[in-house]
Structure 1
Amino acid sequence: MFEHHTQKVLPRPKFQRRVLKYSFVAMGMIGVSWVIGAIGYHYLTDPHLCWVDSFYNAAMILGGMGPVDPLKCKTAKIFASFYALFSGITFLSATSVLFAPFIHRFLHILHVDNADR
């Protein structure tokens, strides 16, 4: 009825490399999203925000704090709306990617016999 798992738990050095790899993937997801937001804020606002303000606004939305500079044109408001939704999904996805190796290891330990560790 139940499967018997005979595969051993991944050794600590390999697990640490896996965590590092997944961390880089999560940081890449956040970084690409941050750049997309900064480009959008720089080119779609009227008047154009400088790059520093664009990165700042993108970071604040990506972190869940909300925009800093008031948006006056409709294009910027539409972009900010979609970017806020995109940022929420990206943040949750990156968090899932970051925690995936830990959850996988925990579930794997629960299903391995003590003799197999």
Structure 2
Amino acid sequence: MFEHFRQPLISRRAYQHRLLGAGLLALCMIAFSLAMGMAGYHLLEGQPWLDAFLSASMILSGMGPVSAPQTDPGKLFAGSYALFSGFVALIGVGVMAAPVVHRFLHTFHVEEDGDDDVARAADGSH
């Protein structure tokens, strides 16, 4: 997915496409996680779809539960979904940050390689 450190830095347009792809991947992860949460709250707690959306989105965003689950399966689901949501948040941040961090580090390596080429040319050891 990312270019090797010996390859040149990709164009700004290609980098923007990479950022867009990372954003879409993160958005798909969040949408899938929200749908799972809604289904769980609807099926296990008997919440209407709108209430299930509210409950799932509050947990997924890290705001906490709207109301305490009433059934044992609902309690197990809510706890598991809260843990899962924490991982989704961390992974989403990683997916979004990966292209930025890679380009940042790659830029330093490209400059370093460029400096070595200049030094070798000046020494005549090219």
TM-score between both structures, scaled by the size of structure 2: 0.82
How many angstroms apart in 1 are the aligned matches of 2:111 and 2:61?
41
How many angstroms apart in 2 are the aligned matches of 1:23 and 1:78?
31
Q: Which ranges of 4 or more aligned residues in structure 1 deviate by more than 3 Å?
A: none
- Selected match of 1:66 from 64, 67, 70: 64
Greater fraction helix: 2
> 1:69 Cα shift?
2.2
- Selected match of 1:99 from 92, 97, 101: 97
> 1:113 Cα shift?
2.3
How many angstroms apart in 2 are the aligned matches of 1:60 and 1:73?
19
Matched residue, 1:8: 8
> 1:72 Cα shift?
1.2
Structure 1 unmatched ranges of 5 or more: none
> 1:6 Cα shift?
4.5
**Matches of residues 1-117 of structure 1 in structure 2 within 5 Å?**
6-45=6-45, 48-113=46-111, 115=114
**Same amino acid, percent of matched pairs:** 43
Q: Which protein has greater RCO, CA pairs closer than 8 Å, 6+ apart? A: 1
Structure 1 residues 51-100: Cα deviation after superposition (integer angstroms, max 9, x where no partner) = 00101100000011111022111110000000000000011001100111
What CA RMSD, in Å, does the superposition of the two structures yield over aligned residues? 1.5
Q: Tell me, what secondary structure is at the counterpart of 2:110?
A: coil
Larger radius of gyration: 2
Q: Tell me, what secondary structure is at the counterpart of 2:90?
A: helix
TM-score between both structures, scaled by the size of structure 1: 0.88
Task: Give the counterpart letter for 1:11 in structure 2.
Answer: S
Structure 2 unmatched ranges of 5 or more: 116-126
